[in-house]
């Protein structure tokens, strides 16, 4: 456990893993449930993000339900080109994550787009910019695993 987390930050992390209010003033509502002010909640989230305690704070959307497309993609990138290709891919707003793996297909990333057509266009753009094939692996079935980590 990270000792730099005080009781309020632990409470924020533990409580907000289970959901976030959908309302006109969601941060105010969340703060009230935590017995702090909206300004304090926003500041604490900002500090935890900047310090690396939280790496992400935001919604998870089901792209397909909104008419979009979502895929896991992989590429075979020579070691000498890996950083350059990663930089190009990571610059695209459609790329959510990018990981290096110890495998022939050593670059894996998540692609989320507003439409199926945009997904195809983005893959073509990546291939054109990098000179390497993108292996597109859209999900066939979705499984939900609720994982809540108490801190």
Digitized pLDDT (tens) for each residue of the chain, 151 residues in all: 445 689 999 999 999 988 899 999 999 999 999 999 999 999 999 999 999 898 888 877 777 777 888 899 999 999 999 999 999 999 999 998 899 999 999 999 999 899 999 999 999 999 999 999 999 998 888 777 777 778 8
pLDDT at residue 137 in the model: 95
Could you give the maximum distance between any two Cα atoms of the chain, in Å? 54
pLDDT at residue 67 in the model: 80
What does DSSP say about strands 107-113 and 95-100: parallel, antiparallel, or unpaired? antiparallel
H or E element that contains 16: helix 7-16
How far apart are alpha carbons 41 and 28 in whole angstroms? 8
Query: Using the 8-state DSSP alphabet, how is residue 127 labeled?
Result: H
How far apart are alpha carbons 75 and 73 in whole angstroms? 7
How far apart are alpha carbons 120 and 3 in whole angstroms? 46
How far apart are alpha carbons 127 and 41 in whole angstroms? 42
How far apart are alpha carbons 46 and 65 in whole angstroms? 30
């Amino acid at each position: 456990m990270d000792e730099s987390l005080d009781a309020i930050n632990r409470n924020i992390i533990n409580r907000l893993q289970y959901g976030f209010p959908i309302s006109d003033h969601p941060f105010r509502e969340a703060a009230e449930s935590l017995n702090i002010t909206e300004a304090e909640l926003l500041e604490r989230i900002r500090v935890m993000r900047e310090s690396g305690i939280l790496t992400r704070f935001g919604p998870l959307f089901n792209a397909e339900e909104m008419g979009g497309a979502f895929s896991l993609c992989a590429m075979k990138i020579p070691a000498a080109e890996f950083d350059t290709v990663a930089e190009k891919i990571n610059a695209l707003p459609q790329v959510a994550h990018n990981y290096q793996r110890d495998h022939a297909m050593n670059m894996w990333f998540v692609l989320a787009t507003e439409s199926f057509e945009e997904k195809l266009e983005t893959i073509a753009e990546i291939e054109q910019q990098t000179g390497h094939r993108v292996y597109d692996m859209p999900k066939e079935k979705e499984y939900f695993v609720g994982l809540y980590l108490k801190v």
